[in-house]
Amino acid sequence: MGTIAALVTDLFEDSEYVTPAEAFARAGHRVVTVGLQEGRTVKGKNAETPVRVEKALDRVSVSDFDALFIPGGYSPDKLRADDRAVAFVRDFVNSGKPVFTICHAPQLLITADVLKGRTIKGWKSIRKDIENAGAAFQDREVVEDGNLVSSRSPQDLPAFVRASLARLA
């Protein structure tokens, strides 16, 4: 089975991390939490779900993983202010390996400048940002374009998990 990088920092959307991470693990995949500071515990924005960062961004490379998973919430906006996170996401998308994003996660892809000519989904408040980045925005529970799998919100988690797991099969 594969190894999935889960890129998070504080204020991630709890269910958008927990539900896919648990589903990936149940399917036999290893989820490695990647963040800004190794060993630090970050917390979700609603339930304050604690998640320990296993690997810092400066200690990982795309070749360490089979897929990238980015939950939403405020975490992606905080991460896109860090050049290491932006470079990691850019390299991952350009590698052709699967990238799973939900809700506000496309903010990282926007900053990484990897959306031109792509079709993606995200939370409705970032629609204009996605379009300004050169991508088409589709309002469906799951949008797949090349190596990108994207969804809107926690209500789309069942479809998001199914599509992500299908990419890992």
Nearest to 3 by CA among 27, 38, 39: 27
Instruction: Choose the catalytic residue: 103, 143, 157, 163.
Output: 103
Distance (Å, rounded) from C-alpha 38 to C-alpha 83?
16
The reply to whether 112 belongs to the active site is no
The bridge status of strand 3-7 relative to strand 136-137 is unpaired
Distance (Å, rounded) from C-alpha 6 to C-alpha 71?
8
Distance (Å, rounded) from C-alpha 108 to C-alpha 101?
9
Q: Sign of torsion, CA 138 164 72 78? A: negative
Nearest to 136 by CA among 106, 92, 97: 106
Catalytic machinery residues: 103
